[in-house]
């Protein structure tokens, strides 16, 4: 019989409850470890166009700042992940695995100062559809 840790059960329960209430990127939807993996992938596959500062090189769009935030505000993370997975890297689209893309998105969220959580960002569209990218904290306190 497989044992499940209390922390895993609490995290899973939290995900179920939060999904019913509508989760956002402010709910800690990725882990610090996942963002660190994503940072390495970003440096290898993304930084040459999107730059180390995530501001883009003029042809590649920024992954931080007001333009990025306005572009994705109110959109599910499934859309962000799928667009990234299908179009990036620009010179070899579709070559990153779902896990690699989720890790890169976790890094982008961390760079943009969204909080970390106890569970990694999922790779499945069904779970990602339950999480919205919203610029302003739901409690109205701003960024």
Structure tokens at 104: 């890169």
The answer to whether residue 141 sits within a structural domain is: no
Is residue 143 in a domain? no
pLDDT of residue 33: 98
Instruction: Strand 75-76: give its sheet, edge to edge.
Output: 23-24, 131-133, 75-76
Overall domain count for the chain: 1
Q: Report if residue 137 sits inside a domain.
A: no
Tokens standing for 141? Answer: 């306190």
C-alpha span between 19 and 27 (Å, rounded): 10
Task: Tell whether 140 is covered by a domain.
Answer: no
Residue 138 lies in a domain: no
Q: Can you give the CATH number for the domain in which 45 is found?
A: 1.10.760.10
Q: What is the mean pLDDT of each run of 10 residues along the chain (143 residues)?
A: 44 43 92 98 97 95 96 97 96 96 98 98 97 90 66
> How far, in Å, CA of 41 to CA of 102, rounded?
11
How much is the pLDDT for 21? Answer: 55
- State which residues form the domain around 53: 6-130
- Check residue 23 and give its pLDDT: 96
pLDDT (0 to 100) of residue 139:
81
CB-count exposure of residue 121 (10 Å: 0-12, 13-18, 19+): buried
């Amino acid at each position: 019989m497989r044992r499940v840790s209390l922390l895993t059960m609490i995290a899973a329960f939290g995900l179920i409850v939060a999904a019913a209430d509508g989760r956002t990127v402010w709910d800690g939807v990725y882990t610090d470890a996942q963002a660190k993996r994503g940072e390495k992938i970003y440096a290898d596959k993304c930084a040459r166009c999107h730059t180390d500062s995530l501001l883009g090189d003029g042809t590649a769009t920024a992954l931080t700042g007001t333009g990025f935030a306005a572009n994705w505000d109110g959109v599910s993370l499934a859309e962000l992940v799928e667009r990234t997975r299908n179009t990036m890297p620009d010179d070899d689209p579709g070559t990153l695995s779902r896990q690699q893309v989720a890790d890169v998105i976790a890094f982008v969220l961390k760079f943009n100062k969204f909080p970390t959580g106890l569970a990694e960002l999922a790779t499945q569209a069904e779970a990602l559809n339950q999480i919205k990218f919203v610029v302003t904290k739901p409690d109205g306190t701003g960024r």
